[in-house]
Copies of this chain bind each other. A is one copy, B any other.
């Protein structure tokens, strides 16, 4: 399910990777970061691998680096819908500190990529420190997560598949270090909780107007502005609120203050290629 990189090389990679290639971790003061680094293990995830099952008791939390992880709800009849999509701006496993400790939904990797893994015990230790920096930041992230879920509620209610697909592609793109969304229509359909044919039809239209291009499991954004226009307001609402709550300016990308910036590009530029060897 979840594959591990040999530990020795991992630790060297993590040290080199400072500042940490996860926005949440990168927000933290440097001394906190250096306290966290020994507790982080870099791992690679295959597309489709299950990070945790629904109802599972969580033993670890995960900070995506260049992978996208989806919180997926599976109904009794087997149909699915994505509750939240999480990339380098966040983490998997908020219930570790929210309480209950049991995930309500399945977490599944949508792309092959890397994450930082941290044990729930270490994480809780840090969360309960009297120095509230870590806690405060995690709570702000939780608020961003809530915002995303709330917006998904209304988006599911009121917006067309075409709008939702546009939104979803923009969100995916923001979390990837390159402009190649390696996903089939089928996969996206199961995330949005619609038929594959619905995605095919909408994607076709987005291609016709020149917003995207795609080709057998690969989707590229060719005109981001156009795609944002095809999308509903939901994309920008969530993005703006997340930027407001986590205004972290990473060392190598001062332009991240710009709220219209692409988080993905923050990663693809700069140190990334040097520090993290893809597994």
Binding site for B on A (CB under 8 A): 71, 73, 75-76, 79, 81-84, 94-95, 97-100, 104-105, 128, 130, 132, 136, 139-140, 142-143, 145-147, 149-154, 156-158, 193, 233, 241, 244-245
CA distance A147 to B75 in the complex (A): 14
Contact A98 B142 (CB under 8 A): yes
Give the oligomeric copy count: 2
Contact A157 B154 (CB under 8 A): no
Closest chain-B Cβ to A221's Cβ sits at a distance in Å of 23
Known: A79-B158, A153-B149, A154-B193. A140 touches B98 (CB 8 A): yes
Contact A81 B130 (CB under 8 A): no
Q: Which residues of B contact A156 (CB under 8 A)?
A: 153, 156-157
Contact B81 A139 (CB under 8 A): no
Query: A-B pairs with the 4 shortest C-beta distances?
Result: A99-B140, A98-B143, A156-B156, A157-B193
Closest chain-B Cβ to A22's Cβ sits at a distance in Å of 18
Contact B132 A99 (CB under 8 A): no
Closest chain-B Cβ to A104's Cβ sits at a distance in Å of 5
Contact A150 B149 (CB under 8 A): yes
CA distance A139 to B128 in the complex (A): 13
Closest chain-B Cβ to A51's Cβ sits at a distance in Å of 16
Contact A150 B75 (CB under 8 A): no
CA distance A147 to B100 in the complex (A): 11
Contact B193 A73 (CB under 8 A): no
Q: Which residues of B contact A104 (CB under 8 A)?
A: 146-147, 150, 241
Contact B95 A143 (CB under 8 A): yes
Q: Which residues of B contact A81 (CB under 8 A)?
A: 153-154, 157-158
